[in-house]
């Protein structure tokens, strides 16, 4: 018994090491140190990591509010919460609570390594339900990590790399436990999902619903724990959403572009290598942003084919006992495909169109292709289970090792592409706005306004990073969702104030279009105000020419005061 426990610990540690090692091999160790933020802000992987850093930087130094996830300094009137900056509220809460004991300028490197480790560990546990063979479990664990649906998210959409939650949900669906213990496990998993990312939450919730139904279906099992669970588990998810600030958004839940049915799973996508694979021919595909990320890899496809053949030759008994899980996975697949069925980039059938009300709700899940993820993992696990039943553990291990080798060879183009995502960079990134004006202005004004503002409005990134580095609130934002009515109201009010010369005390205005520039000129007092260009950006500095600074408030203890030469945009507010 003691020997078995030691063997289990060794296997678990080996799985963790495999997951971390694969992340390091693909992305590099340079992302791991908490003080190293240059790789996030240098711009090679787009604006999303900048968004995450901004959300955390503002949230981490602000006082606790109600709800705890409120983050108004980033966005001001159009701001919301840490939830909508995709900054992983679960970790943001933890590191904010620890502030004063430990400073963490960025936690996404740690998060990505943890995601790789937990993905491998939970895959190892799942495979162990069907075979104890060490090779099968470890090779299979590596295969679960080397999936484009995971690796692509690690390359930019960091919170969505938490796909180990889906493996944990599958594990709960397939293992017995005492009723109250299972209730606590599902409630904890649902709470974690609600504090990590909104797309992972409905996937976990769907898998929980299948498990609850499987246990509630026999009449003799309809007992108190199931009734409590039916309330407690969804309640845990809602509580997490509330704490993270999900309900602070007044409108715009469907996003500012696209909608449900426009970023769906193409029926050829799992077989289309796109930029990932080098062994299979390219297939026609739709042109939406996530069309190429559902490829399973040739090693996985061969594994699925082998699993299907093994099941046909020697069916595993008792499969239909899991009919609620199978039905739930089918429902998730239907959500991924949507009512607009796409084949090779062409919509070949349109099923019944949802009502306007239902479409509005579904638009919040516009990237529906992501609902393929739990289905893909369930298919891989099912193939391994079928092979283990037909061939035994030893041969299954050899098959999985071969599939893993093919997967690695096939995905070389994808690995080469990812290797350039997080290239070595200085620990801190210099500000893009380096004219001496910005340093002086950050000492005189208490906030920076973007006119007009909105989702990724012109100059948003350089202005927001400057404001965060200098410790100033700003309405220059990029959020997962933003209220369009609040944006329109703020822009209208700003235009009126500029045109009337009724400038908000303490505000520096960055002008992003000719309309706002004309309004600023109309309300300009040349004796007091400065209207000029710095770093090729038009700026209105009300009261700049006055005898005293506009707002010479003393700098708070946590406000950065770096020099303009090499100003580290990624330095924490403590400087």
> What pLDDT does 1 receive?
67
Tell me the pLDDT tens digit for each residue of 283-313.
Answer: 999 888 788 889 999 999 999 999 999 999 9
The answer to whether the peptide bond before residue 452 is cis (omega within 30 degrees of 0) is yes
Sheet holding 530-534, edge to edge: 447-451, 507-511, 537-541, 530-534
pLDDT (tens digit, 9 = 90+) per residue, 128-148?
999 999 999 999 999 999 999
pLDDT > 90: percent of the chain:
74
Average per-residue pLDDT for the chain: 89
Q: 296 and 307 in contact (C-beta within 8 Å)?
A: no
The predicted pLDDT at position 555 comes to: 38
pLDDT band at 560 (very low <50, low <70, confident <90, very high): very low
Supply the pLDDT for residue 552: 41
Would you say 94 and 107 are in contact if contact means Cβ atoms under 8 Å apart?
A: no
Residue 559: band (very low, low, confident or very high) from pLDDT cuts 50, 70, 90:
very low
Residue 238 confidence (pLDDT) above 50 = yes
Task: Tell me the pLDDT band of 174, cut-offs 50, 70 and 90.
Answer: very high
For 481-514, the pLDDT digits (tens) are: 899 999 999 999 999 999 999 999 999 999 999 9
Instruction: Evaluate whether 498 touches 510 at the Cβ level (below 8 Å).
Output: no
Please give the model's pTM, rounded to 2 decimal places.
0.92
Q: Which position has the token pair 């199931």?
A: 226
Interhelix angle 179-194/200-216, rounded to 10 degrees, is: 160
Q: For residue 563, is pLDDT > 90?
A: no
252-265 per-position pLDDT tens digit: 776 656 678 788 99
What integer is the mean pLDDT of 76-85?
A: 93
Beta bridge partners of 534: 537
Under a CB-based contact definition with an 8 Å cutoff, are residues 523 and 500 in contact? Answer: yes
> Residue 67, preceding bond cis, omega within 30 degrees?
yes
Tokens representing residue 325 in the block:
């899980």
């Amino acid at each position: 018994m003691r020997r078995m426990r030691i063997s289990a610990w060794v296997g678990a540690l080996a799985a963790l090491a495999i997951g971390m090692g694969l992340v390091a091999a693909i992305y590099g160790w340079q992302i791991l140190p908490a003080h190293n933020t240059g790789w996030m802000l240098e711009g090679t992987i787009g604006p999303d990591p900048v968004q995450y850093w901004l959300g955390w930087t503002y949230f981490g130094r602000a006082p606790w509010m109600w709800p705890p996830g409120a983050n108004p300094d980033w966005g001001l009137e159009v701001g919301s919460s840490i939830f909508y900056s995709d900054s992983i509220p679960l970790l943001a809460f933890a590191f904010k609570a620890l502030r004063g004991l430990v400073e963490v300028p960025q936690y996404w490197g740690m998060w990505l390594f943890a995601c790789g480790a937990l993905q491998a560990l939970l895959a190892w546990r799942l495979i162990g339900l069907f075979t104890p063979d060490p090779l099968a479990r470890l090779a299979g664990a590596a295969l679960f990590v080397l999936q484009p649906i995971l690796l692509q998210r690690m390359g930019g959409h960091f919170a969505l790399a938490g796909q180990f939650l889906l493996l944990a949900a599958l594990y709960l669906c397939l293992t017995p436990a005492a009723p109250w213990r299972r209730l606590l496990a599902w409630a904890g998993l649902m709470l974690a999902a609600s504090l990590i990312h909104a797309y992972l939450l409905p996937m976990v919730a769907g898998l929980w619903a299948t498990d609850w139904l499987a246990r509630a279906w026999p009449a003799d099992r309809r007992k108190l724990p199931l009734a409590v669970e039916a309330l407690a588990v969804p309640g845990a998810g809602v509580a997490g959403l509330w704490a993270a600030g999900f309900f602070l958004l007044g409108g715009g839940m469907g996003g500012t572009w696209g909608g449900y049915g426009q970023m769906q799973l193409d029926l050829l996508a799992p077989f289309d290598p796109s930029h990932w694979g080098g062994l299979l021919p390219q297939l026609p595909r739709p042109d939406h942003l996530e069309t190429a990320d559902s490829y399973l890899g040739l090693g996985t496809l061969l594994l699925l084919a082998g699993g299907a053949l093994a099941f046909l030759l020697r069916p595993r008994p008792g499969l239909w006992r899991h009919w609620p899980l199978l039905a739930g996975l089918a429902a998730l697949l239907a959500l991924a495909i949507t009512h607009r069925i796409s084949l090779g980039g062409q919509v070949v059938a349109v099923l019944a169109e949802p009502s306007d009300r239902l479409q509005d709700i579904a638009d919040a899940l516009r990237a529906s292709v992501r609902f393929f993820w739990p289905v893909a993992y369930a298919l891989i696990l099912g193939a391994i289970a079928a092979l283990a039943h037909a061939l035994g553990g030893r041969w299954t291990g050899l098959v999985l090792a071969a599939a893993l080798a093919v997967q690695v060879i096939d995905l070389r183009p994808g690995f080469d592409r990812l290797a350039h995502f997080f290239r070595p960079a200085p620990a801190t990134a210099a500000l893009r706005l380096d004219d001496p004006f910005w340093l002086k202005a950050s000492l005189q004004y208490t906030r920076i306004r973007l006119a007009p503002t909105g989702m990724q409005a012109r100059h948003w990134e350089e202005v927001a990073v400057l404001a965060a580095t200098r410790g100033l609130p700003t309405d220059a934002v990029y959020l997962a969702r933003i209220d369009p009515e609040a944006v329109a109201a703020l822009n209208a009010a700003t235009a009126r104030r500029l045109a009337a010369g009724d400038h908000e005390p303490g505000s520096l205005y960055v002008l992003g279009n000719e309309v706002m520039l004309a309004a600023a000129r109309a309300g300009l007092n040349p004796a007091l105000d400065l209207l000029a260009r710095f770093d090729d950006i038009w700026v209105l500095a009300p009261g700049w020419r006055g005898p005293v600074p506009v707002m010479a408030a003393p700098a708070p203890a946590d406000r950065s005061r770096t020099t303009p030469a090499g100003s580290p945009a990624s330095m924490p507010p403590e400087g």
